[in-house]
A and B are shown apart, each in its own frame.
Chain A
Amino acid sequence: MAEGAAVVGTGAPVRKPVRRGRWVPYALLAPGLLWLVVFFVVPMITLGSQSLQEGNIDDGYVFTGNVSIYADAVQRYWPHLVRSIGYAATATVLALVLGYPLAYFMAQKAGRWKNILLILVIAPFFTSFLIRTLAWRNILSDDGPVVAFAQSTGFTSLLQAVGLTSNDTLLASKFAVICGLTYNFLPFMILPLYASLERLDPRLVEAAGDLYASPREAFRRVTWPLSLPGVVAGTLLTFIPAAGDFINSRLLGNTETVMIGQVIDSQFLRVLDYPLAAALSFILLTMIVVLVAFYVRKAGTEELV
């Protein structure tokens, strides 16, 4: 009523803006909420109920509340779960190490080349994920120049020595899978990093130098903490999809590098063991949520602005 009264003085006809305003936020929220309910909440419930069913594809599935399937799934597939988390974490760290300097350069030093570099980072998205991963098979193929170079420099021997490959080539190995994951999710790391480094005022770095901070100290005390929101966003956007990825391990790996996404994929689409696939999906989901919650808590308390 107070707002309505304020309008009177202007001589404008009195309307009822208060009532009108109240439902607008909900109206704007509605499509998104509806989307979430239909495409997230409902499937999650379906998936949850599916994981507790028993039966087979021919006779149909019946809900039996068979919770023991979770224990069975973990027991059978814990190496794949651990491996997935390990590969995803390694790829995330690699993407951060590769992406940070690039994002920093683009945001702070590139000047008029900024937009061109940004397009180059996004450009791979114009081709399909699958095609790009298949391309890595060509790049790393046994008779290709990359392998020849890696062999001549002793890099393949080094990889073999540390257990990332099992022979003198590169393909079908842990190394290739991690490379593929790093490559495929690198833009998801670079873009949030770029966004937060773009906002970093270079005068703050100057001020740190003026206050006796060496370039290394200035990075540690000013640039890095101020870019943490980008680091957190980038690592999450890389780690989460990488942990559930099933393409890279299938196309670039071997039987020893099977990731949990690949297992879920084959349980759903080939073995047609829906309850097991659903249970594995939930286990993966829980692991990621717990890890991410722990990570965000750790990174997000003090340092984030």
Chain B
Amino acid sequence: MAATRTSGDLRLAGLTKEFDTFTAVHPMDLVIPEGSFFALLGPSGCGKTTTLRMVAGLEQPTAGRIHIGDTEITDTKAHQRNVNTVFQSYALFPHMNVLENVEFGLRRRGDKNATVKAKEALELVQLGEVAKKKPAQLSGGMQQRVALARAVVNRPDVLLLDEPLGALDLKLRRQMQIELKRIQQEVGLTFIHVTHDQEEAMTMADTIAVMNAGRIEQLGDPATLYEHPASTFVANFLGQSNLLKVTVTGPARNGEVPVTAYDTALTVAADHVPGDAKEVWLGVRPEKLRMGEHGGPNRLHGTVSDVSFTGVATQYLVRMPWGKELTVVQQNDGSGRARPGEDVTISWAAEHGFALDAAQAADAGVEEEG
């Protein structure tokens, strides 16, 4: 990550936050390159917002340092940092109109062109016409864009977004995701986006840090995190995973390691098997599994126990002889559909599997609905 260090990278070194009874953020080292769209992803209470608030200066770290480029900002106050936040609640000033809200930061720094710049920022978020309105007169989506304009207009070194789309409905959220990405590319600022929505993080961010219980579980681009999760938590939190406990039966051959699961011989790509493990979790994403035998050499037989049609795809639950249900997602590409009760073979290619340390809980990071 730190290979191309430029002047405006955000660097966290051993950043820690302890509250009276628990540690919200364990010592964290992280470099966020200038101009990147970075996501801190994790369930609520994982420490992502606390991390963000420490960067903003709204929370004092217990230990550790924060640098932007070569400047240390750990001990500076929030109003002295060239960092702005888009708050989850937007926190627009209700007694000021939209333009005054956007001008606020510029005026505090004595910018002579505050009004001109604020109007430009409002154009950027396509809200030029509502400049004279009070925030309460705007819809949630518009308020969100005002909050964004109010932060972006200051051209901060780092722009922090705290679950900025959390209060919007699904359709508006999708729209704003694309919008946010466009604006980030247009202004070229470093965006750090905190979210618990894995789809949102993957849609927008170049790099995602998956956080769990105050620690970064894995850091990488969305595709790597999805295809090569480093832990069962990441495997389950980002998308769905089928996890099978398997026993390694021999050394790697042709880049593939033979394993067995419930007396069925399977293979998994060698680079995914940790060290000299004897037992591992073999994980496969539901959409990598195929109904029938054309998916690859790994085959399991089971009975369809549930079929749900979702439009673009069909999701099956297939019960294995030993009782576990695997999830299979098949594109709605015109091929025939299996019915509940039908005996089926499911198959997948060795390279579509990933292996994880068997010491972890299989259900770590399974998202609770609601």
Contacts and interface: CB of A to CB of B under 8 A. Distances in A.
A226 B136 CA distance: 14
A222 B151 CA distance: 17
Given A201-B89, A206-B58, A212 B154 contact: yes
Interface string A162-204: 0000000000000000000000000000000000000001011
Contacts of B104: 208, 211, 213, 221
Most chain B CB within a 10 A radius of its CB, from A203, A212, A217, A222: A212
Given A212-B154, A213-B79, A214-B79, A207 B108 contact: no
B89 A203 contact: yes
Interface string A215-237: 10110011001100000000000
A131 interface: no
Contacts of B78: 206, 209-210
A305 interface: yes
Contact of A212 (B89, B94, B105): B105
Contacts of B95: 225-226, 303-305
Interface residues on A, range: 20 to 34
B150 interface: yes
Interface of A is mostly: helix
Most central of B79, B83, B84 by chain A CB within 10 Å: B79
B56 interface: yes
Contacts of B79: 208-215, 217-218
Contact of B91 (A206, A214, A226): A206
A226 B93 CA distance: 9
Contact of B154 (A204, A206, A211): A211
Contacts of B16: none
B108 A210 contact: no
Nearest to A305: B95
A282 to B, nearest CB: 38
User: Of A201, A209, A226, A305, which is in contact with the most chain B CB atoms at under 10 Å from its CB?
Assistant: A209
Contacts of A222: 93
How large, as a class, is the contact surface on chain B?
Answer: 20 to 34
B77 A209 contact: yes
A210 B150 CA distance: 11
Contacts of A214: 79
A109 B176 CA distance: 36
Interface in A213-263: 213-215, 217-218, 221-222, 225-226
Contacts of A210: 56-58, 78-79, 83-85, 87
Nearest to B58: A206
A211 B84 contact: yes
Most chain B CB within a 10 A radius of its CB, from A211, A214, A218 = A211
A201 B89 CA distance: 10
Interface string B64-85: 0000000000000111100111
Interface in B81-103: 83-85, 87, 89, 91-95
A207 B154 contact: no
Contacts of B150: 211
Contact of A211 (B58, B77, B89, B108): B108
B208 to A, nearest CB: 24
Nearest to A201: B91
Interface of A: 201, 203-204, 206-215, 217-218, 221-222, 225-226, 303-305
Closest 9 CB pairs of A and B: A211-B105, A207-B91, A212-B108, A209-B78, A203-B91, A209-B79, A210-B85, A212-B79, A213-B108
Given A210-B58, A226-B94, 10 more contacts: A203-B89, A206-B78, A210-B84, A210-B85, A211-B79, A211-B108, A212-B105, A213-B104, A218-B79, A305-B95
